[in-house]
A and B are shown apart, each in its own frame.
Chain A
């Protein structure tokens, strides 16, 4: 999440469409996939730190983490 906010603050200006072997993928799709991996990493860290039982309603919190990662990546890399 800190990375996402950092991306919002410091990065900008990538193409809004990414090419993978001749096919063009919208940036938001790439962000969603990357955010899925980020969510996996964050959850692993939270679990290893033993904090998972204290974070509140897990589905809501992890969904919010996922949303933060997705939107943070998109705003950071593709907001001009």
Chain B
């Protein structure tokens, strides 16, 4: 036992002590680079988070966007069986191109009737003019009779005192004078009636105008039998055949008006405050990856249907809700697209992504200004500046 002497602590225990252990050079380097790595990772994350927030704030984007064009429903203006189809589905048509033809024969027959009626009215007018001449002659005749009767009465009246004529003859002569005057008035009335019957008002004869209008109406109806395109566009949803009955005003297919394409991009209400009409928009269509399209903001929708607000009878209905997390409403922003080119034609309903190049610039917050050098501040300013328009954008 006495021979036992305390032995020194084992060497490994000393080596494990962190205080006294000398750090070898590679370990020191590892420590320095490790610390640097950790700190730079945290700083990078902070800076990139800030840049991302910045980017999203000045260039609001949405995936909820769809390409739209105006749709023109094609309906015949007259009813009848379709006798000819001049187009096929998806065909390109121009303004004035024949689309289909409705059986024109009933309308042609009505036009013929109207034309015949017009010719008859012309004859009728001539007859009425002749009747007027006849009435005028009647007046001359009646006036001559009246004049003679007056002169006769004037001649025989002085003969009554000498009893060369009887009082009855005088009375008969007076009656004849009055009858002749009445006959003149009657003839004048008959002339006025004949003039009215002619229907001439100034330079216009209403009988002829009416007949002429009926001819025009029937000519229009015959013209309506040929249904023509009113827009430049494409035939779509064309599911009719020859023999189908086309009713007046009932649409049988549609044309996509390709003269104006626009994008309806549904932006969150938090984004629309930076969007203004006239701003450039970068548009990506799913159908054409790697092609950049261009549009211009035309306006932002002013109204939305609110499903939570309603009324039942005269009282409002309010559904009881307890929404803690509220979803932002989306308002449709109308973006007028540049015209498409032949390589990348637009199709209505195509999915799109829109990025509004807001020309908004953001000042670096005052609290951060002392922390960052001027050069960094300027660089951030360039991030906020919209890029130059891209030349490869089709239709520019």
A residues at B contact (CB < 8 Å): 1, 4-5, 8, 13-17, 19, 24, 26, 46, 49-57, 60-65, 67-68, 71-72, 74-75, 79-80
Contact = CB atoms under 8 A, between A and B. Distances in A.
A15 B61 contact: no
Interface size on B, as a range, is 35 or more
B387 interface: yes
B373 interface: no
B30 A51 contact: yes
Contact of A17 (B44, B353, B357): B353
B40 A1 contact: yes
Contacts of A62: 41
Interface of B, secondary structure class, is: helix
B289 interface: yes
Interface stretch (B9-17, B51-59, B221-229): B51-59
B42 A75 contact: no
24 contacts: A8-B48, A8-B51, A15-B284, A15-B290, A15-B353, A16-B61, A16-B353, A17-B353, A24-B63, A24-B286, A50-B26, A55-B34, A55-B41, A61-B38, A61-B41, A65-B45, A67-B45, A68-B41, A68-B48, A71-B49, A71-B51, A71-B52, A79-B55, A80-B355
A64 B34 contact: no
A72 B355 CA distance: 19
A55 B37 contact: yes
CB-based closest 9 A-B pairs: A54-B34, A64-B45, A56-B38, A51-B34, A71-B48, A55-B38, A67-B45, A68-B44, A64-B41
A67 B284 CA distance: 26
Contacts of B63: 16-17, 24, 26
Nearest to B352: A17
Interface of B: 26-27, 30-31, 33-35, 37-42, 44-46, 48-49, 51-52, 55, 59, 61, 63, 282, 284, 286, 289-290, 292, 351, 353, 355, 357, 387
A74 B351 CA distance: 21
A54 B36 CA distance: 9
Contacts of A15: 284, 289-290, 353
A22 B210 CA distance: 65
Contacts of B30: 49-51, 54
Contact of B33 (A51, A61, A68): A51
A64 B46 CA distance: 8
Contacts of A61: 37-38, 41-42
A80 B48 contact: no
A61 B38 CA distance: 6
